[in-house]
Amino acid sequence: MAKESLLGSSIGRKFAMALSGMFLMSFLIIHLACNLTSLFPDDGSTYNAVSEFMGYNWIIQYILQPVLTFGIIYHFVMALVLTARNKKARPVKYAMNSPAANSSWMSRNMLVTGGVILAFFLLHFIDFWFPEMNLKYIEFAPNDPERFFPELQHKFSNPIRVTAYVIAFVLLMLHLLHGAQSSFQSVGFNNKKYTPTVKTASKWFAILVPVGFILIAVYHYFNSLM
Ligand code: HEM
């Protein structure tokens, strides 16, 4: 620590990684809340209004969206850096090392589950984000405030896409089951009284958020069959 600055040290990198993870978790709550409005029995009018607000509010578009993009890239790049440094620090595994007994599958496979989420991002951006950016900033098409809900319904009428999304959401759950509670540990939150509550809340967050996304995708798929 003496030679390295806090953010350049291993603890500093873990801290920064945890903070970026917490930031992405707060995005997930907002994103889920916005998308859950597509389940309202109002023919998509709330979802259209929310999507238009999120898509045209300048603070969201020009400040929060770039911050989010940076947060996502930072989180993934730091994950690779941390893994590479850990491997370098301990190239030969301890003879007594028994990973399965000492840690969960989730904690040992954060890079795998994170990689699947990254692949999901590519699919998801091709589905929703790139067409939106193209419409607004390349074609400069006039705004149709009713377009968001039919687009969502159309995307989730494809069973292959819905299956790919559901698989990604299950991996997101596995990623969060370790990541959510570990982020609190990494930022140094350690309190005899509150740590068990934080652990339980993290677990519920890790389960309920992906289940909410699964519900949205599956609901719109079955709705498209009627
Ligand atoms: C059923 C589930 C989901 C639906 C219906 C959905 C819908 C959308 C839509 C419509 C957009 C484009 C917003 C715009 O720019 O106008 C978007 C963007 C995005 N989504 Fe999702 N999403 C879902 C799940 C997820 C999940 C689980 C994640 C993260 C793990 C995620 C991450 C993102 C990101 C990073 C963006 C780009 C930033 C933004 O524009 O907000 N989405 N999503």
Residues with Cβ < 8 Å from 120, sequence gap 6 or more? 164, 165, 168, 171, 172
10-91+103-225: CATH class: mainly alpha
- Buried-state track 45-70, b at ≥16 Cβ within 10 A, e below 16: ebbbebbbebbeeeeeeeebeeebee
Q: Residue 176: enclosing H or E segment and its boundaries?
A: helix 159-186
* CA distances for 37 relative to 43, 48, 49, 168, angstroms: 10, 9, 10, 21
The CB of 132 under 6 Å from ligand 1? The reply is yes
Query: Comparing 34 with 10, which gets the higher pLDDT?
Result: 34
Q: What is the pLDDT of residues 95-128, one digit of tens each?
A: 555 666 668 999 999 999 999 999 999 999 999 9
pLDDT tens readout for residues 131-162: 999 999 999 998 999 999 999 999 999 999 99
Distance (Å) from CA 14 to ligand 1 centroid: 26
In terms of pLDDT, which residue wins out, 142 or 170?
Answer: 170
* DSSP codes of every residue in 21-35: HHHHHHHHHHHHHHH
Residue 61: partners with Cβ closer than 8 Å, 6 or more residues away: 55
Residue of 28, 31, 70 with the most ligand 1 atoms within 8 Å of its CB, for mutation:
31
SS3 content of the chain, % helix, strand, coil (to 5): 80, 0, 20
Does residue 129 line the site of ligand 1, with CB under 6 A? Answer: yes
Share of the chain above pLDDT 90, in %: 78
In this prediction, residue 5 has a pLDDT band, given cuts at 50, 70 and 90, of low
Q: Is the Cβ atom of 76 under 6 angstroms away from ligand 1?
A: no
For residues 38-57, average pLDDT: 97
CA of residue 58 to ligand 1 center, whole Å: 18
pLDDT in tens, 207-224: 999 999 999 999 999 999
Q: Is the pLDDT of residue 52 over 50?
A: yes
Model pLDDT, residue 117 = 97
What the block records as the tokens of 93 is 């595994």
pLDDT-wise least confident of 46-50, 183-187, 204-208: 183-187
Q: Give residue for tokens 């950016």.
A: 133
Q: Is the pLDDT of residue 69 over 70?
A: yes
Taking the C-alpha atoms of residue 146 and residue 150, their distance in angstroms, rounded to an integer, is 8
Q: Which long-range contacts does 103-108 make (Cβ < 8 Å, 24+ apart)?
A: 104/177, 104/178, 105/174, 106/174, 106/175, 106/177, 106/178, 107/178, 107/182
Considering only CA atoms, which residue is closest to atom 6 of ligand 1? 35
